[in-house]
């Protein structure tokens, strides 16, 4: 069987060969609509791409930020995470009509929708406990019961049309569904993600890692075994200024994916990067620099 990372490398080739030229909001791209990849999470596998170095610690910190329901970019900056900086400046917020937001206040983005869906948003400092719908807790509660884990309604949506205009950036990864497959007393958890807008060079490697980490964390919390991450992609694009870098990447041969062990915690939001123990360390080719388009 070929290395699962070949799916990603082939996607790059397909877009470069058959992609449609498009002038978008934040740059010129080549794109294809409708793509899919599947990655095994068995035995603690984390599909961190290896043909370039993925900043997995940054990715993990952002994930826990989502899980905590946070919308304050300053919280990430304190952890030396700067992936939201371009979308939280005074200039960018004003361009979105968010003139009343303080710089760094991203509005009701992912974390707010995951933990407080559609709760009235005031600012990044407000305590939203008990407000809105806690979609993530609903999924966890159901996965912990024999009847609940068989549900086909274990869905978490970040796409809330009622609040899109309050967000610094409408969500790209918009809907995740969790599914349990059972063999006797053993239960396997998989996650399927639908993403409307997929930045192949920078965003996609992070999204694969983030939702794989999330699936592992939820499986641990609920006494399940992580099995698969399935990735459905809408507008899948390569920015023109990433093309040369990606041509270098597709010539590299993938290395084995790492495998991890995670401890039990009282709650998902308690996890830290230091809690991750690698059974098989993450090894990759060297970093490939690409500019982020806000």
Catalytic, out of 59, 172, 198, 222: 172
Torsion of CA 70, 74, 75, 76, to 10 degrees: 100
Q: Could you confirm whether 198 is annotated as catalytic?
A: no
pLDDT value at residue 294: 63
- Please give the helix or strand (H or E) that residue 15 lies within, else none: helix 6-18
- Neighbouring CB atoms inside 10 A of 110's CB total 24
Q: What percent of the chain has pLDDT over 90?
A: 95
pLDDT band at 239 (very low <50, low <70, confident <90, very high): very high
Q: What integer is the mean pLDDT of 267-286?
A: 96
Domain 6-55+131-280 sits in CATH at 3.30.572.10
The residue whose two tokens read 């990735």 is 231
Is the pTM value of this prediction over 0.95?
A: yes
pLDDT tens sequence across 242-262: 999 999 999 999 999 999 999
pLDDT tens sequence across 129-151: 999 999 999 999 999 999 999 99
Mean pLDDT, the chain, whole residue set: 96
pLDDT value at residue 23: 87
Task: Report strand pairing: 225-239 vs 186-199.
Answer: parallel
């Amino acid at each position: 069987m070929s290395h699962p990372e070949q799916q990603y490398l082939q996607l790059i080739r397909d877009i470069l060969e058959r992609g449609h030229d498009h002038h978008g909001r934040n740059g010129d791209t080549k794109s294809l609509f409708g793509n899919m990849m599947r990655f095994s999470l068995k035995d603690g596998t984390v599909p961190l791409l290896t043909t370039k170095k993925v900043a997995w610690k940054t990715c993990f910190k952002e994930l826990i930020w989502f899980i905590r329901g946070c919308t304050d970019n300053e919280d990430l900056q304190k952890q030396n995470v700067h992936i939201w900086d371009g979308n939280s400046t005074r200039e960018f917020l004003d361009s979105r009509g968010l003139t009343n937001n303080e710089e760094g206040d991203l509005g009701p983005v992912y974390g707010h929708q995951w933990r407080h869906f559609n709760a009235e948003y005031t600012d990044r400092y407000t305590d939203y406990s008990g407000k809105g719908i806690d979609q993530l807790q609903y999924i966890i509660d159901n996965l912990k019961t024999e009847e609940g884990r068989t549900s086909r309604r274990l869905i978490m949506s970040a796409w809330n049309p009622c609040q899109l205009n309050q967000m610094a950036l409408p969500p790209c990864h918009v809907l995740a569904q969790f599914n349990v497959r059972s063999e006797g007393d053993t239960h396997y958890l998989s996650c399927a993600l639908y993403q409307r807008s997929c930045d192949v060079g920078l965003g996609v490697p992070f999204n694969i890692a983030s939702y794989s980490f999330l699936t592992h964390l939820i499986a641990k919390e609920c006494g399940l075994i992580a099995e698969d991450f399935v990735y459905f992609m809408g507008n899948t694009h390569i920015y023109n200024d990433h093309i040369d870098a990606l041509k270098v990447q597709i010539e590299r041969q993938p290395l084995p994916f790492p495998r991890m062990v995670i401890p039990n915690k009282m709650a998902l939001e308690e996890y830290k990067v230091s809690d991750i123990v690698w059974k098989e360390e993450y090894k990759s080719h060297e970093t490939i620099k690409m500019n982020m388009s806000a």
